[in-house]
Amino acid sequence: MNKAVRNRAGIAMAGAALLAGGLTACGDGKAASADAAAGGGKGAGKAHSSVEAVKASYLKTVAAKFAKAELSTVGSDGKTSGQTGTKGWYPSSHDVTLKGDKDDTRSIVIGDTIYTHLDAPLEGKTWMRMNLSRDGKPGVRLNEDPAEYLAMLLGQAKLTHVGAEKTDGVDAQHYKGSFTNEDLLQADESTKVMEEKNRQYLHDSLKHVKTFEVDLWIGKDGYPVRVDSVSTDGKGTTKTTAKFSDFGVAAPVQAPPADQVVDLSASLAETDRKLKETDQKLEEVGETLQEADKTLRDAGLGGLDGS
């Protein structure tokens, strides 16, 4: 039981590790102006500022709050995983089906609380709840939602405008860039459109990212349509394709019914209590057997082992 519970928790964290936040960037006004003057790629001949385009898309996306998402990721281990469902932001959330080597798993995240649907009921409940916050501090992670991707690119003068393209049948503007950890963590005036708590959260979650390469497509409606990224950290390189739609139309993420949720910490505590109780009983049984063995030997009848 204890092992099974811990295994399910690992799945929840992995799923969720796919998980949260909003912040940073770098660049300055002069560099942005140079990018606008250059126009970039197919957009040459018309002033087009990547910095301003991302900022406008970010503000519009923030207001939408939720969107449909489809993600495919190739991890540093070469294995492919996926997510399909709804993403939300501020607070970060998702209600997705996680796809990988094993059976699909439904995962719901709201802030620091992760709910994982169990393969079999535990204590009569079908959902496991786990809180990632520690000592009053939020659990830091990336949520891979559209607002978060745009927040990473706020003020990034290295993001260039490739031009107008169709992606997955949608008319969009294509942007491309490659960034170091220093680029990602250096904020400028553009990031002031973010709430400070969101900016700091993303800043913390990006500390482990060494390099980040991205192709971004923003549709005619101003929302990000697709983000292809290559991220490198201490564990290796991860490639992700994220597609978004139904901004402001997708239903908000909701927690599972309370009567169907078992809390991981409470369950582990109860399991540990039962194990300690069992250990104590076994110890008492052992002492009883030792006394019986001594009694038999003292009576000259031999021990419990027949000797």
Q: What is the pLDDT of residue 190?
A: 82
Give the separation between CA 302 and CA 300, rounded to whole angstroms. 6
Q: Which amino acid does the sequence have at 242?
A: A
Phi, psi of 302 (to 5 degrees): 85, 160
pTM of the model: 0.73
105 or 17, which is more confident? 105
Phi, psi of 140 (to 5 degrees): -90, 125
Tell me the average pLDDT of the chain. 82
Q: What is the pLDDT of residue 189?
A: 79
Of 97-111, 133-147, 199-213, the least confident: 133-147
Report the pLDDT averaged over residues 167-185: 96
Q: What is the pLDDT of residue 191?
A: 85
pLDDT digits (tens, 9 = 90+) for 233-264: 999 999 999 999 999 999 999 999 999 999 97
Q: What is the pLDDT of residue 282?
A: 67
Class of the CATH-defined domain 2-256: mainly beta
Give the separation between CA 210 and CA 230, rounded to whole angstroms. 11
Q: What is the pLDDT of residue 187?
A: 74
Residues 6+ apart with CB under 8 A from 182: 26
pLDDT digits (tens, 9 = 90+) for 47-73: 789 999 999 999 999 999 999 999 999
Strand order in the sheet with 66-74: 160-167, 170-180, 211-219, 224-233, 236-245, 66-74, 80-88, 93-99, 105-110, 113-122, 125-131, 261-263
pLDDT digits (tens, 9 = 90+) for 115-155: 999 999 988 999 999 998 877 788 889 999 999 999 999 99
Q: What is the pLDDT of residue 4?
A: 40
181 burial type by CB count under 10 A (0-12 exposed, 13-18 middle, 19+ buried) = middle
Q: What is the pLDDT of residue 277?
A: 57
Residue ranges, comma separated, of all CATH 2.50.20.20 domains in the chain are 2-256
Phi, psi of 23 (to 5 degrees): -160, -115
Give the separation between CA 119 and CA 105, rounded to whole angstroms. 8
Among 129-138, 190-199, 272-281, name the most confident range.
Answer: 190-199
7 pLDDT band, cuts 50/70/90, is very low
Tokens of 249: 């139309």
288 pLDDT band, cuts 50/70/90, is confident
Phi, psi of 75 (to 5 degrees): -80, 175
Report the pLDDT averaged over residues 190-209: 92
The percentage of the chain sitting over the pLDDT mark of 70, rounded to a whole number, equals 72
pLDDT at 11 over 50: no
Per-residue DSSP letter, 236? E
SS3 at position 115: strand
172 or 48, which is more confident? 172
